[in-house]
């Protein structure tokens, strides 16, 4: 191949820039030109007035310093238009017109679905798993996950320091819509006492009972770490009525439960000054850790080598600490297994 493209899609993840940088270095080494496709699959549709707002040639010298930066230099966005078959065909035609012979796609499950569609249309693609959630079953770690956990670990440690100072429990909400790995690893890394994840059904009463036992046993500063998607796994509980009865204001019928309300419920059930903190986008906007930077470097180089040798329809991952690749269709068919043993260990200890 003489010209390849690279795009970042879905949510941004630490290490995406490092992966783009690695792709650029490998492309330069093998004498290939590199086109940066902007805002994910939106760039392939070429809706902008200026083509350089959609696709631009990446010169190694101009992006030499982006590897250590958080976010994504190419920008990212979801692309609902790409769900339509006629728009995917339009994108494939645009890609060919630009002389792009293969694409490195950096993103999560939705990004891989798009890459598979392009492969079916004759555009070879190689995927790098760029998502902090760690929700792709075929790989032990996704790009950005390690950084996200380290970010949460630092923040939860800071929360626990204040909790110790005031002898009051804390609720920390971390990211993870369908995958509780960030919450689980954060608990295991910080000594947080209670972990709530989307994979395991839970009840407010169960959490309250456990927190009350911790307080009664001399731990008034326990930490509850909850994944943002865990609310869907909560057993039915009329929490709005519970809080309204106790004089809590601003609880409306159309309000959905969140970590702040959970803290208020635990405050009343456990007679403790429970405080909530949402860690939010700090997890996605950090500088990549050494682990994620290493993974980005190896994955970016492997992706270019695969395309260079005419091998597409593949995704890159980590198994037993080593970078490997496998067919994208096979990767998407694998079922993720939640580490229930570690979850039970965290919550029992």
Q: Among residues of the chain, what percentage have pLDDT more than 70? A: 100
- CB-based burial label for 282 (10 Å; 0-12, 13-18, 19+): middle
* Confidence (pTM): 0.95
Distance CA 174, CA 259 (A): 10
Asked if residues 128 and 19 have their Cβ atoms less than 8 Å apart, the reply is yes
Report the pLDDT averaged over residues 296-325: 97
Asked if residues 185 and 148 have their Cβ atoms less than 8 Å apart, the reply is no
- The pLDDT score that the predictor gives to residue 335 is 94
Report the pLDDT averaged over residues 228-244: 96
Query: Would you tell me the crossing angle of helices 16-29 and 290-308 to the nearest 10 degrees?
Result: 40
- The pLDDT score that the predictor gives to residue 66 is 86
The answer on pLDDT for 152 being more than 90 is yes
- CB-based burial label for 8 (10 Å; 0-12, 13-18, 19+): buried
**pLDDT-based confidence at 226, cuts 50/70/90?**
very high
- What Cα–Cα distance (Å) separates residue 68 from each residue in 88, 103, 175, 323? 33, 22, 22, 21
The answer on pLDDT for 239 being more than 90 is yes
- Which residue in the list 12, 133, 146, 181 is annotated as catalytic? 133
Report the pLDDT averaged over residues 317-334: 97
- The pLDDT score that the predictor gives to residue 68 is 82
Report the pLDDT averaged over residues 29-56: 95
133 belongs to the catalytic site: yes
The answer on pLDDT for 108 being more than 90 is yes
**pLDDT-based confidence at 64, cuts 50/70/90?**
confident
Structural domains for the chain? 3-144+288-333 (3.40.50.450), 146-284 (3.40.50.460)
List pLDDT tens digits, range 79-93: 999 999 999 999 999
């Amino acid at each position: 191949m003489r010209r390849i493209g690279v795009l970042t899609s879905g949510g941004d993840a630490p290490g995406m820039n490092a992966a783009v940088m690695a792709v650029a270095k490998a492309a330069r080494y093998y004498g290939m030109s590199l086109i940066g496709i902007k805002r994910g699959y939106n760039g392939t549709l070429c809706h902008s007035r200026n083509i350089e707002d959609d696709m631009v040639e990446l010169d190694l010298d101009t992006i030499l310093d982006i590897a250590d930066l958080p976010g994504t230099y190419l920008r990212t966005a979801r692309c609902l238009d790409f769900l339509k078959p006629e728009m995917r065909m339009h994108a494939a035609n645009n890609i060919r017109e630009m002389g792009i012979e293969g694409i490195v796609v950096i993103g999560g499950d939705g990004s891989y679905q798009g890459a598979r569609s392009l492969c079916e249309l004759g555009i070879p693609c190689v995927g790098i798993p760029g998502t902090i959630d760690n929700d792709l079953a075929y790989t032990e770690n996704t790009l950005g996950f390690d950084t996200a956990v380290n970010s949460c670990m630092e923040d939860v440690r800071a929360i626990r320091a204040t909790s110790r100072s005031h002898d009051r429990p804390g609720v920390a909400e971390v990211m993870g819509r369908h995958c509780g790995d960030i919450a689980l690893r954060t608990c295991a890394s910080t000594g947080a006492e209670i972990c709530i994840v989307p994979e395991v059904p839970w009840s407010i009463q169960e959490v309250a009972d456990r927190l009350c036992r911790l307080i009664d046993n001399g731990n008034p500063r326990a930490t509850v770490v909850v994944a943002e998607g865990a609310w869907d796994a909560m057993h039915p509980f009329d929490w709005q009525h519970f809080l309204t009865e106790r004089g809590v204001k601003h609880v409306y019928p159309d309000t959905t439960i969140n970590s702040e309300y959970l803290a208020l419920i635990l405050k009343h059930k456990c007679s403790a000054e429970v405080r909530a903190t949402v860690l939010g986008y700090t997890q996605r906007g950090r500088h990549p850790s050494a682990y994620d930077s290493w993974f980005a470097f190896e994955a970016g180089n492997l992706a270019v080598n695969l395309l260079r040798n005419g091998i597409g329809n593949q995704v890159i991952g980590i198994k037993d600490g080593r970078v490997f690749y496998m067919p994208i269709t096979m990767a998407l068919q694998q079922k993720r297994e939640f580490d229930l043993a570690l979850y039970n260990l965290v919550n029992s200890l």
